[in-house]
Amino acid sequence: MTKTILLADAGYDAAAAALAADYPELNIIAPDAGDDAKALASSAVIGLIADTATVDAALLEALPNLQAVLKLGRSYFNIDVEAVRQRGLSFGCVPRKGPNCVAELAMTLILSLSKDIIVSNEAVALGAYRYRGLKPELTAERKIAFHWMRNSRVHEVVGKTLGIIGMGEIGCELARRASVMGMRNLYYKRSRLSAELEGVFDATYAELDDLLRQSDYVCIATPHTAATERMIGAEQIALMKASAYIVNIARGGIVDEEALIEALQTDRIAGAGLDVFTYEPLPADSPLCSLDNVILCPHIGGGTGSNRNIELGAALAEMSRLLAN
């Protein structure tokens, strides 16, 4: 007997068609662009999968035989969890590929900055020991040239404060990783998360200025809109600690690049990890290219690219599991 699954978001119809043969036990209803999930609701639907579409009491009421709700992504801000629980429905989340990839890069940049990785790599590759009166010697268990570069920027991230600007799926995935590393998470978002979600992601809300003042790392993970254009400029950077770092894995236009360059050149902040820029590729004559306190990436945060087949496939596999219980 086939089980009818409704996708609450449009845009997954091609992925659903591609995956249909892999899940013959599921009848997947995928809305076309402009379709409303409620209009496709029926008593036949027993599973509901949502990405960013709102799942509220009205939609749930239109699905009288619903057994399970599944969120694509771990931040279930768009789900009326109280209504789901009152119905006694199974409820779960599956991570999305795209946000995971970007969060991985953000964490990589944070860890790399903490080890002054650019200077460290160049010091070894260029034989900088020669300028420190050192010479290579055979090592043994208790005979090593520990920290021979004496990099002043090397530190540990445990106990440091990470400020995340934008707490969508990427920000939430980053908070999970930072928490495991022993970091304290602050976040700023136009619409504050529920207390439940703040607990899930071990993150505390802070107004933007407070976040900038307290954070050892400031990670920008908010969409680039008219409202966020150059939201981090000279005034905001001036609030940061001199020992703090900026990590931008969102869009270049959210940061005033000229103000950032000046802050990096004058050691107003300690450094930056950048995957995105005002102009891409980053122009070869950009001052950023000559700074040793910056890690530059060629917009690789998305990894191998978003793949709705992979994301929906993971959701369908989890839905099958939920409905089997």
Q: What is the pLDDT of residue 131?
A: 94
Tell me whether the CATH fold assigned to 3-94+307-324 matches the one assigned to 100-116+153-292.
yes
* Identified catalytic residue from 153, 224, 230, 299: 299
**Per-residue model confidence as pLDDT tens digits over 96-128:** 999 999 999 999 999 999 999 999 999 999 999
In this prediction, residues 188-209 reach a mean pLDDT of: 97
280 carries an active-site annotation: yes
Instruction: Determine whether 19 is exposed, middle or buried from the number of CB atoms within 10 Å of its CB (0-12, 13-18, 19+).
Output: buried
Mean pLDDT of the chain: 96
Would you list the domain boundaries of the chain?
A: 3-94+307-324, 100-116+153-292
With a cut of 80, say whether residue 306 has pLDDT above it: no
d(CA 323, CA 95): 19
> Does residue 153 register a pLDDT over 90?
yes
| Catalytic, out of 251, 257, 308, 311 | 251
37-69 pLDDT tens trace: 899 999 999 999 999 999 999 999 999 999 999
- Give the angle 304-307-313 at the CA atoms, nearest 5°: 130
pLDDT of residue 304: 87
* pLDDT score recorded for residue 44: 98
**Percentage of the chain modeled with pLDDT above 90:** 96
Residue-wise DSSP of 4-58? EEEESSTT-HHHHHHHGGG-TTEEEE-PPTT--GGGG--TTEEEEEESSS-B-HH
Catalytic-residue membership of 87: no
Q: Which of 155, 152, 154, 150 is nearest to 129 (CA)?
A: 150
- The stretch 79-91 carries a mean pLDDT of 97
Residue 3, beta-bridge partner list = 26
**DSSP-derived 3-state class of residue 185:** strand
pLDDT recorded at residue 35: 81
Residue 117 φ/ψ, nearest 5 degrees: -65, -35
Q: Do 263 and 212 contact (CB within 8 A), yes or no?
A: no
Q: Does domain 3-94+307-324 have CATH number 3.40.50.720?
A: yes
Query: Is residue 321's pLDDT more than 90?
Result: yes
Token readout for 152 is 């002043």
Q: Is the pTM of this model over 0.85?
A: yes
Q: What's the topology of domain 100-116+153-292?
A: Rossmann fold (3.40.50)
Instruction: Yes or no: say if 254 and 231 are a contact pair by the CB < 8 Å rule.
Output: yes
Instruction: Out of 156, 196, 229, 280, pick the active-site residue.
Output: 280
Cα dihedral sign, 79-37-311-105: negative
| pLDDT surpassing 90 at residue 141 | yes
Closest CA to 293 of 269, 314, 275, 325: 269
User: What per-residue confidence (pLDDT) applies to 32?
Assistant: 86
Strands (E), the chain: 3-7, 26-29, 45-50, 68-72, 90-94, 161-165, 184-188, 203-205, 217-220, 245-248, 271-274, 294-296
Tens of pLDDT along 155-178? 999 999 999 999 999 999 999 999
* Segment 262-282 mean pLDDT: 98
